[in-house]
Amino acid sequence: MYSIVKSIQPNSLVTYKNDPNASYENLPKNVKLDIKWSLLTEQGFVCAYCMTPIDENKMRIEHWACQKEHEDKELDYSNMLACCTGNENQRDEEYICDKMKGNKSLRYSPACYGHRINERIYYEHGNGTIHSSVAEFDEQLRSVLNLNYHRLVSNRKAALRAIHARLETVKKGGNATKNDIEGLLRDVCSRRATKVKRKVDVLGQNFTIEWPEKHKPFYGFLSDYLQHKLQGK
């Protein structure tokens, strides 16, 4: 999990909310697609919670403040996040992220600046688990989001092994230098230029546009590790 900077809401959503009968349940297909692409773009095509890769056909629109308890926020773009499908066809105990959360509460949102999510969480790099110094939130990471699900832990560790391998390649007869680690940290936190194609319908004609800027999966976990390396921890 990592802090998300929210962009402005899509124009189509603004227009739709002017309809006195507007509701999330009846959200027009084009408006929902615009919301998906806006969320994906601001998050760099990774899940807001587990940070695995997602796209418009393999994602869920999550409401941080759940719709059941906060109907007034169901069309509030600042309350929306893009999440993975959460192992939705697996057993209940294997659900993760939004699918696991359902209508349960979550103390902090990665998209709320005031929640300072990057200060609330920490990782155990050796075993790939995520935790919080806030006891309630620490429990929610486990029981509400299931972010220490064994496959997520394994994937984080695999991503970290790739970082270790890259650090090995830049060693110059000793340990990696501060400049080496800083360069790798910039690379981990930057968005990749991989382009995603999206078909759009304009006045009855189909066009394909290219959408750049994808984040590296688990970049929150990886950047945390590299920052600790820089601090000598």
CA 74 to chain centre: 19
| 24 CB neighbour count, 10 Å cutoff | 16
pLDDT by residue (tens digit) across 98-154? 999 999 999 999 999 999 999 999 999 999 999 999 999 999 999 999 999 999 999
Domain ranges of the chain: 11-230
Angle between helices 178-189 and 219-230 (to 10 degrees): 160
Instruction: Tell me the whole-structure pTM to 2 decimals.
Output: 0.89
Q: What is the DSSP string of 155-199?
A: HHHHHHHHHHHHHHHH-SSSSPPHHHHHHHHHHHHSPB---EEEE
Asked which of 49-58, 74-83, 101-110, 210-219 is least confident by mean pLDDT, the reply is 210-219
Q: Does 206 have pLDDT greater than 80?
A: no
Q: Does 196 have pLDDT greater than 70?
A: no
**Which helix (H) or strand (E) is 202 found in, with range?**
strand 196-202
Closest CA to 128 of 190, 46, 48, 51: 51
What is the torsion angle, in degrees rounded to the nearest 10, for the CA atoms of residue 49, residue 53, residue 59 and residue 63? Answer: 20
CA distance 233 to 185: 15
Closest CA to 77 of 107, 111, 54, 101: 111
**82 bridge partner residues:** 61
Largest CA distance in the chain: 68
Q: What is the amino acid identity at position 10? A: P
